[in-house]
Amino acid sequence: MVGRILLAVDGSDPSSRAIPFAADVARCLGAEIVVFHAKEHVAGRGEAYDAESDADASSLTDHAVRWLKDEGLPAWSETRSCYFGHVPRELVRAARDERADMIVMGSRGQSDLGATVVGSVTGKVLQLSEIPVLIVP
């Protein structure tokens, strides 16, 4: 049974397309949605800095939560900070902490070579997750 969905958002087009898809799934299953965003820290010379501001990160999740609530769905947001490249682990950790039964996320659709060179967040989440992961292209 799916009672809680963790919806990962990052501001990309595929991420935006995942929002109404997660809403449809939640509506069919009677689930609630946790909108999640991982704010990355980038290591610079001698210090780490945020790749985006707290306001930008909050705006991203707040927009999705408002849309979901307007659709009549129970939703709230969570934003966490992590170091560059650690988003997949943080996303899976958040799903576990929130007791999510499913993860919904968008996929940027990189080529196999692009995903190998850059690294695929989606692919890593699929490897690490112990719960179903629904990918929206």
Per-domain boundaries in the chain: 6-70+83-136
Residue 82 has pLDDT above 70, yes or no: yes
The upper half-sphere exposure of residue 34, i.e. CA atoms within 13 Å in the direction of its Cβ, equals 23
Q: What is the pLDDT of residues 48-69, one digit of tens each?
A: 666 678 888 889 999 999 999 9
How many whole angstroms separate alpha carbon 34 and alpha carbon 5? 6
Which residues are paired to 135 by β-bridges? Answer: 105
How high is the mean pLDDT of the chain? 88
Contact of 102 with 5, CB cutoff 8 Å: yes
CATH number for region 6-70+83-136: 3.40.50.620
Spatial CB neighbours of 16, under 8 Å, sequence gap ≥ 6: 9, 106
Question: Would you place residue 42 in the very low, low, confident or very high pLDDT band (cuts 50, 70, 90)?
Answer: confident
Q: What is the pLDDT of residues 98-125, one digit of tens each?
A: 999 999 999 875 545 444 444 588 999 9
Residue 137 has pLDDT above 70, yes or no: yes
In the prediction, which pLDDT does 57 show?
Answer: 86
Contact of 103 with 5, CB cutoff 8 Å: yes
In the prediction, which pLDDT does 85 show?
Answer: 86
Q: Which two tokens stand for residue 135?
A: 């990918």
How many whole angstroms separate alpha carbon 121 and alpha carbon 118? 9
In the prediction, which pLDDT does 109 show?
Answer: 56
Return left, alpha or beta for 35; rule: phi > 0 is left, psi -120 to 50 is alpha, else beta.
beta
